[in-house]
Structure 1
Amino acid sequence: MIGGLLAGLVVALWFLVADTVAGHPFRTPALLAGVLLNREFTEVTFRLIAVYTVLHFGVFAVLGVGMAWVSAAFTAPPRLLLALGFGVLLQEATFYVGLLLLHAPHLGVIAWPHVVGANIAAGLVLMGYLHYAEHDPRPMRFTALRDHPVLARGAINGLIGAAVVAVWFFVLDLVTGNPFRTPAALGSALLLGASGPGEVVATFGLVAVYTVVHVAAFVVAGVVFVALAEQVERVPAMALLVLLTAILLEGLFLATIGVGAQWVLGTVGWLPVAVANALAVVAMGWQVWRTHPTLQRRLLEHPQLRV
């Protein structure tokens, strides 16, 4: 709980400094309190800030307890990876999902770079505290990820896939003269339940939230991809199963969009989506192939398994 409170303090101090520099002290908690209470406050009062601050630290205390439990579940927890997960995924999701549930007028009520920066800083502080509190003798740096090679390689693999898809659609959107149209459409459908192009909310806040979801999904896929590849290293006959699984997941992804938000495919296009996913699979597959010489040797020794 102490770690969560420290993380909450970091976020509070971040926005206090940002608001003060901008000439509007306590503007952020006042705005968020207004969203929470569904009212627009014309002036910042001590009571308003106090009420929101109690809620703020309460949420962070709960998140801190949860992350302490997750950290304790590992024999050698990858704390830097968990810090990024806490800051970029858990806190981002909690913040923006909260705004959605409270029917905030727009997700960009707080500038997203500040949200991301504050959350990453909070995640690092929380994991730093847990590292100290648990008397972990290992250094808290990225070399600690060597204890979890599948997670580390999988995260990198997923980030590569996410970047390939993001760049592909960014270029397509620029060419058509509608920057960020694709993430805005997908984010509106996924997060806001938009039922048509007219309901697309093209804001940085929504794009930021969708980007977090996008990256998180690819990181999970990357970890699964690497884990399967390492199984193929041990049992080459699983290569065909891995290929069939990839094809099935691709079909499931397209079918899900087609059934749940068909208008998105009409807006973005079936072909660009299929090409984006194919490029991601190729990029992630090449990364796995490049970093797994044993896999190369096993498959080359069994030419009948090559696809």
Structure 2
Amino acid sequence: MTDEEGRRAFSGTIVRGLIAGIIGATVLALWFLVIDASQGQPFRTPAFLAGAVLGRDGVEMTVGAIALYTMIHYGAFVFVGVLVSWLLRQIRTAPSMLLGFVLGFLMFDVVFYTGVSVTGVNVVAELGWPEVLAGNILAGICLMGFLHLTGATPPITWWQVLADHVIIREGILAGLVGAATVAVWFFLFDVIRGQPFFTPGALGSALFLGIQDMADVNTGAATVLGYSVFHVSAFALTGIIASAFVTEAEKRPPLVLAAVLLFVAFEAFFMGFLALIAEFLLGALAWWTIAIGNLLATVSMGYFLWARHPRLQEVLRENPLDRTV
């Protein structure tokens, strides 16, 4: 590719991303306009968010406040659109509905953590997490849809990426095994206590609704399913990291010790994460139930990866760790 062709390709990527961002921003704006109008308060959402950004109490339905937040809203989406368009071109992956779904979840997380850390307001709880999540997923899918239709990247599908990247495919499968193990463990624990789905409901309520009291736990389908998606995603990421360690350990057996440290770090991270979002749950769920659940998940994921790596078994038989370290 010549310099001129490279500049044209880069320019096209930026323009596609810019337009995709505008489309995503418009979809989300229309989504909340419909919700606000159905409640008899058109433009309440941008007015409320403008007040949160400016540090004002209450909702001021002024043109200036709404215009200010609208500019911030579109600017943020344009940035996301350009960034996504550029990243997809770099990794040569075609935009898809699945990636749009993932992008929507990521934007939902950004809204939650940015709202709490920057404005001190739990925006997700104020606006309703199902509405915020659904709107961001819809915006993410539309953003990716435009990039797909305009050919922002070569036509490589996500299943081709999984087929070509053994570590990613294997890691996701290992993550699903671990996630299912923990889910079954807590389901049995909840059933024995006479509170089915209490654990995912409590964790989902703390994560999405920001509750700080056991009386506010919501075990509805939306909360349980929302946390389940987060749960599976976290385990899939952990599985990919573990798969990378195990694959490399075939060449360098001492990395098995690093995998053990990964388990310790995973336990510490989960406990710390739980203490951060909902310290009150540590007493209600009992720390040992969480530790056992994570231990069972680690064992199941470890066995899955061990069975898929006979070469590692052979290497460790020939060179035990006490001789390779």
TM-score normalised by the chain length of structure 1:
0.72
Number of residue pairs aligned between Structure 1 and Structure 2: 295
Following the alignment from structure 1 to structure 2, what is the Cα–Cα distance between the partners of residues 227 and 95?
31
How do residues 133-212 of structure 1 correspond to structure 2 at under 5 angstroms?
Answer: 133-138=150-155, 140=157, 142-166=159-183, 168-169=185-186, 172=189, 175=193, 177=195, 179-180=198-199, 182-183=202-203, 187=207, 202=217
The 1:209–1:36 alpha-carbon spacing in structure 2 relative to 1, beyond 3 Å, is farther
* Counterpart among 237, 240, 243 of residue 226 in structure 1: 243
1:71 maps onto 2:88 in alignment: yes
Aligned equivalent of 1:52: 69
Give the corresponding residue for 1:273: 290
* Pairing 1:241-252 to 2, within 5 Å after superposition: 241=257, 243-250=259-266, 252=268
Measure the CA separation in 1 of the matches of 2:274 and 2:139.
38
| Sequence identity percentage | 31
Contact 2:93 2:158 in 1 (8 A): no
Counterpart check, 1:296 vs 2:310: yes
What residue identity is the alignment partner of 1:296?
Answer: P
Q: Which residue of 2 aligns with 1:40?
A: 58
How far apart in 1 are the matches of 2:178 and 2:251?
A: 25
Whole-angstrom CA distance in 2 between matches of 1:258 and 1:3: 36
Aligned with residue 3 of structure 1, among 6, 13, 20: 20
Structure 2 match to 1:96: 112
Following superposition, the deviation at residue 222 of structure 1 comes to 1.5
The answer to whether residue 313 in structure 2 is matched with residue 282 in structure 1 is no
- Kept after mapping to 2: 8 A contact 1:31/1:109: no
Distance across 2 between alignment mates of 1:257 and 1:136 = 36
The runs of 5 or more residues in structure 2 that have no matched partner are 1-17
Contact 1:82 1:127 in 2 (8 A): yes
Q: Give 1:95 shift.
A: 0.5
Q: Which amino acid aligns with 1:299?
A: Q
TM-score scaled by structure 2? 0.69
2:103 aligns to what? 86
CA RMSD across the alignment = 4.3
Alignment partners' CA distance in 2, 1:162 and 1:267: 21
Shift of 1:224: 0.5
Matched, 1:235 2:254: no
Report how far residue 280 of structure 1 moved: 1.7
